[in-house]
């Protein structure tokens, strides 16, 4: 028993083998490999216990169950909820069946989702936009009216647009696990299900703003940033402060436009998941540069629309004896910095 920690399980995903700890899900095993073989996930969140299994976008094909039982699993499985077995072989992007199924899942998610990307504050950092672009069909076969909901006010800082919601449950898990109390959840059943508060109470606890960060679409947005700017016109900068709240480490991303801080968010990893949840004071009340210690520019992946005009820049070498070239190089550097 003393050597249990040395036990590893070998799993092969799209032809790439990796050894992982027992209990690791297929999705997390794929994330350890990285790259294009990582299945998309709209509801799974590694920081939230119990998340996953709702959206089905992470479906994969298990072509070999294990070394002891090599039979394939009869149906596609949700990689975020299926743990690996020793000798398991999994197909993701190498399986036409998975690609076709994921295309259908995206079509289902978009059945009732409004086509309001041009006015949605989530545009540019929306997981559903990325999913639709990478795995969606060119057009929908749905011929009926989309479902709509009345807009409700759940607080002075958070705007709820239920018509955009895909019922991933992330905000419910977040409120359950990192706040003192939860007053919102899923009401009704079937295609009438909706995120709402009972008797329209306000969501106003110390960490309520984190439901904005975990929402993969534009259903929950920041009222203080609402309609102020497009995210690709802002400049993200990492910063920190000594926060008085015992559960908040004060590490955030500031989104600048010129010298103004338009919004404050928690820092996110490469999969769009919050690294550490932050309190509402840091998020909503500290929007001056003097409130923060600047750590440096936030690295943005080149495949993100936010990276427009934010490429890493190295000043071009110039002839030191030529003052005209020196001045031109200086102006180019300042122009790039401002962008």
For residue 2, what pLDDT is reported? 47
pLDDT band at residue 339, thresholds of 50, 70 and 90? very low
Strand arrangement of the beta sheet that strand 152-153 belongs to: 152-153, 158-160, 220-222
Which letter does DSSP use for residue 337 in this model? H
For residue 48, what pLDDT is reported? 92
Using the predicted structure, report yes or no on whether residue 329 has a pLDDT greater than 80.
no
Using the predicted structure, report yes or no on whether residue 260 has a pLDDT greater than 60.
yes
Provide the token pair at 335.
Answer: 């122009």
Using the predicted structure, report yes or no on whether residue 201 has a pLDDT greater than 70.
no
Using alpha carbons, list the distances in angstroms from residue 328 to 71, 316, 320, 332. Answer: 67, 10, 12, 6
Provide the token pair at 215.
Answer: 């929402």
Element (H, E) at 302: none
pTM: 0.81
pLDDT band at residue 21, thresholds of 50, 70 and 90? very high
Using the predicted structure, report yes or no on whether residue 125 has a pLDDT greater than 70.
yes
Of 194-208, 291-305, 314-328, which one has max mean pLDDT? 291-305
Provide the token pair at 62.
Answer: 């298990």
For residue 338, what pLDDT is reported? 44
Q: By percentage, how much of the chain surpasses pLDDT 90?
A: 52
Axis-axis angle for helices 96-109, 127-135 (nearest 10): 130
Nearest partner of 221 among 116, 292, 79, judged by Cα: 116
Provide the token pair at 31.
Answer: 């994330």
Using the predicted structure, report yes or no on whether residue 312 has a pLDDT greater than 60.
no
For residue 1, what pLDDT is reported? 46
- Can you name the residues that pair with 218 across neighbouring β-strands? none
- CA dist 229 and 231 (Å) reads 6
70-108, pLDDT tens digit by residue? Answer: 999 999 999 999 999 999 999 999 999 999 999 999 999
| 32-36, 54-58, 199-203, 249-253: least confidently modelled range | 199-203
**Mean confidence (pLDDT) of the chain:** 86
pLDDT band at residue 200, thresholds of 50, 70 and 90? low
Using the predicted structure, report yes or no on whether residue 319 has a pLDDT greater than 70.
no
């Amino acid at each position: 028993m003393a050597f249990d920690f040395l036990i590893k399980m070998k799993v092969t995903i799209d032809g790439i083998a990796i050894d992982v700890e027992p209990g690791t899900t297929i999705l997390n095993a794929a994330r350890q490999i990285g790259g294009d073989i990582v299945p998309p996930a709209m509801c799974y969140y590694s920081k939230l216990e119990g998340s996953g299994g709702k959206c089905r976008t992470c479906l994969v094909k298990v072509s070999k169950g294990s070394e002891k039982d090599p039979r394939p699993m009869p149906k596609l499985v949700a990689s975020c909820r299926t743990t690996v077995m020793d000798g398991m072989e999994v197909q993701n992007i190498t399986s036409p069946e998975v690609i076709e199924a994921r295309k259908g899942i995206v079509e289902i998610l978009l059945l009732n989702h409004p086509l309001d990307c041009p006015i949605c504050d989530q545009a540019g950092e929306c997981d559903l936009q990325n999913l639709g672009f990478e795995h969606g069909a060119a057009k929908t076969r749905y011929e009926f009216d989309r479902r709509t909901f009345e807009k409700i006010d759940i607080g002075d800082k958070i705007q709820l647009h239920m018509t955009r919601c895909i019922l991933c449950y992330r905000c419910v898990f977040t409120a359950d696990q990192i706040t003192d109390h939860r007053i919102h959840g899923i009401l009704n059943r079937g295609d009438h299900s909706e995120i709402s508060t009972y008797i329209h109470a306000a969501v106003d606890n110390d960490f309520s703003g984190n439901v904005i960060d975990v929402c993969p679409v534009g259903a929950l947005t920041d009222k203080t940033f609402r309609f102020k700017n497009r995210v690709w016109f802002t400049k993200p900068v990492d910063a920190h402060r000594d926060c008085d709240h015992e559960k908040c480490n004060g590490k955030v991303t500031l989104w600048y436009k010129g010298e103004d801080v338009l919004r404050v968010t928690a820092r996110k990893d490469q999969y769009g998941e919050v690294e550490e949840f932050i309190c509402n004071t840091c998020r909503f009340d500290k929007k001056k540069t003097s409130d923060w210690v600047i750590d440096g520019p936030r690295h943005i992946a080149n495949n993100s629309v936010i990276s427009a005009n934010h490429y890493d820049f190295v000043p071009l070498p110039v002839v030191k004896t030529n003052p005209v070239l020196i001045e031109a190089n200086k102006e180019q550097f300042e122009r790039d910095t401002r962008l």
